[in-house]
Amino acid sequence: MKDYQFLQQKYMVQTYPNRKVTFVEGDGVFLMDTNAQRYLDLMTNYGVTIFGYNHPEITNSLQRQLERIVTLHGSFANDVRAEASEALVKRCGADYAQVYFSNSGAEANEAALKFAVLKTGKKKFLVARHGYHGKTLGALSATDAEKYKTPFAPLLWEFIPVPFNDPEALEQAIDKNVAGFFIEPIQGEGGIFVADKTYLQKVREICTKHSILLIVDEIQTGTGRTGKFLASAGITADILCLGKGLAGGIPVGATLVNKETAESVPKGIHTSTFGGNPLACAGILAVLRLLNTEQLKHVETMGKYFLNELSKLKSPVIVEARGSGLMLGLEVRAEMRNRILQLLQKEFVLTIPAGENVVRFLPPFIIQKEHVDLAITKLQKILEGL
Ligand SMILES: Cc1ncc(COP(=O)(O)O)c(C=O)c1O
């Protein structure tokens, strides 16, 4: 058999850490390596494969679309794209008017930044401390992580971090030059920090009071991850960004805007060859069909069960279990985090890091109690052996 580890190391620019396992197939909540060893996937490729691998509804929808049209430029209309845009805008709530489709989370945020500048004429943004919005230059500018930014300084415009979950700090930081505030309802990459119950509501009120745009990045939290279609349900952003699992695993970004913002975007100013391609749109329609009330309830139930089981774990290494829905984190003593990830992988359970000291769980929405129990048993065994 070819040495795929070697080939990938040799021919790909080495920007990713190497997890030292080669996966060749997936089935439901499992990934299979080259020896047909099954691994329980509790990471869904950083939140993308939300219905696991080879979900029949998604596979069939994509297959059907593959045989019709894969790509069609946005200057032409297309049945599936038209249906997907209508379905997504309506699903996000009555105050969203239109969507711009792109191909990744970072691109969804790039569009958000440009639309915000077009709407306000301003180029100063407030962002949350430890927020993460992607690694393209605009999204990186909005990200509060020096380790990713330093080599590329100076970055774009003016981005001022304010503490997360602190409405007063946000209000104090606003001046007449601020275009908008960029926020994740749960900070994912930053370490699974959940917005307090009233925080987003207060943020909405402050943004409205001072006439700045509220830009909500739901790339990780959205599309059902917390047991609601949007984690920001109950408030309406001026600009809302989605991505990750929205198209059933096909690359996608979506930037939703209200009517006033939509009207300030002129033709031709921001486009993407692949944005809104019919294949991704078929994925979006399949995902929206699957994310019915029953499925969202299942995410909520499984999330509560998983968090409760994590909270019951006993170990001096554990600092805290937290999260919402199926977006969970186990904060541990910093020096132990990577060791726990490695040991879980040795036990055929896949998780990912968040922040400096958090084991992150982003399981597929089809996860069952038995899978949670399996993960908890392995985790308990690992913690006892540390
Ligand atoms: C909240 C948030 N925004 C933006 C991004 C960037 O998405 P992508 O990696 O698809 O560019 C991510 C990715 O993890 C994310 O979690």
Q: What is the pLDDT of residues 274-296, one digit of tens each?
A: 999 999 999 999 999 999 999 99
Q: Of all atoms in ligand 1, which is nearest to the CA of residue 221?
A: 1
Q: Of all atoms in ligand 1, which is nearest to the CA of residue 136?
A: 11
Q: Whose CA is nearest to atom 10 of ligand 1?
A: 105
Contact predicate 24/220, CB 8 Å: no
Q: How far is the CA of 219 from the centre of ligand 1 (A)?
A: 6
Q: Is the dihedral of CA 133, 139, 141, 146 positive or negative?
A: positive
Q: How far is the CA of 220 from the centre of ligand 1 (A)?
A: 7
HSE-CB of 310 using CA atoms within 13 angstroms: 26
Q: How far is the CA of 106 from the centre of ligand 1 (A)?
A: 6
Check residue 233 and give its pLDDT.
96
Q: Whose CA is nearest to atom 13 of ligand 1?
A: 134
| C-alpha to C-alpha distance for 228 and 293, rounded to whole angstroms | 9
Mean per-residue pLDDT of the chain: 97
pLDDT at 1 over 90: no
pTM score above 0.85? yes
Q: Of all atoms in ligand 1, which is nearest to the CA of residue 139?
A: 4
Of 368, 364, 358, 383, give the one whose Cα is nearest residue 55. Answer: 364
Q: What are the helix (H) ranges across 210-359?
A: 259-263, 278-290, 293-312, 337-346
Write the DSSP string, 168-220: HHHHHH--TTEEEEEE-SEETTTT-EEPPTTHHHHHHHHHHHTT-EEEEE-TT
Q: How far is the CA of 67 from the centre of ligand 1 (A)?
A: 30
Q: Of all atoms in ligand 1, which is nearest to the CA of residue 189?
A: 16
Q: Of all atoms in ligand 1, which is nearest to the CA of residue 244?
A: 10
Q: What is the residue whose two structure tokens read 């989605």?
A: 242
pLDDT (average), residues 71-89: 98
Q: How far is the CA of 316 from the centre of ligand 1 (A)?
A: 32
Q: Whose CA is nearest to atom 16 of ligand 1?
A: 220
pLDDT at 327 over 90: yes
Q: How far is the CA of 339 from the centre of ligand 1 (A)?
A: 25
Strand partners, 170: none
| The total number of residues written for the chain in this structure | 386
CA distances from 100 to 84, 184, 185 (A): 11, 19, 21
Q: State the pLDDT confidence band at 195, using cuts at 50, 70 and 90.
A: very high
Q: Is the dihedral of CA 235, 298, 109, 275 positive or negative?
A: negative
Please choose from 45, 189, 239, 360 the residue to mutate so as to test ligand 1's pocket, defined by most ligand atoms within 8 A of CB: 189
Please choose from 133, 240, 327 the residue to mutate so as to test ligand 1's pocket, defined by most ligand atoms within 8 A of CB: 133
Q: Of all atoms in ligand 1, which is nearest to the CA of residue 251?
A: 10
Q: Whose CA is nearest to atom 8 of ligand 1?
A: 105
Pairing of strands 30-33, 213-217: unpaired
- Give residue-wise pLDDT tens across range 14-40: 999 999 999 999 999 999 999 999 999
Q: Of all atoms in ligand 1, which is nearest to the CA of residue 106?
A: 11
Which residues lie with the beta carbon below 6 Å from any ligand 1 atom?
Answer: 46, 104-106, 109, 132-134, 184, 188-189, 217, 219-220, 243
Tokens at 142, concatenated: 């909005």
Contact predicate 200/338, CB 8 Å: no
Q: State the pLDDT confidence band at 334, using cuts at 50, 70 and 90.
A: confident
Please choose from 107, 219, 230 the residue to mutate so as to test ligand 1's pocket, defined by most ligand atoms within 8 A of CB: 219
**Computed over its alpha carbons, how large is the radius of gyration of the chain?**
21
- Distance of alpha carbon 386 from the chain centroid: 31
Side chain identity at 21, as an amino acid letter?
Answer: V
Please choose from 109, 230, 244, 272 the residue to mutate so as to test ligand 1's pocket, defined by most ligand atoms within 8 A of CB: 244
Q: How far is the CA of 173 from the centre of ligand 1 (A)?
A: 25
- Give residue-wise pLDDT tens across range 212-232: 999 999 999 999 999 999 999
pLDDT (average), residues 51-64: 98
- Give residue-wise pLDDT tens across range 135-164: 999 999 999 999 999 999 999 999 999 999
**What CA dihedral angle connects 28, 250, 80 and 63, to 10 degrees?**
-50
- Give residue-wise pLDDT tens across range 335-356: 999 999 999 999 999 999 999 9
Q: Of all atoms in ligand 1, which is nearest to the CA of residue 46?
A: 14
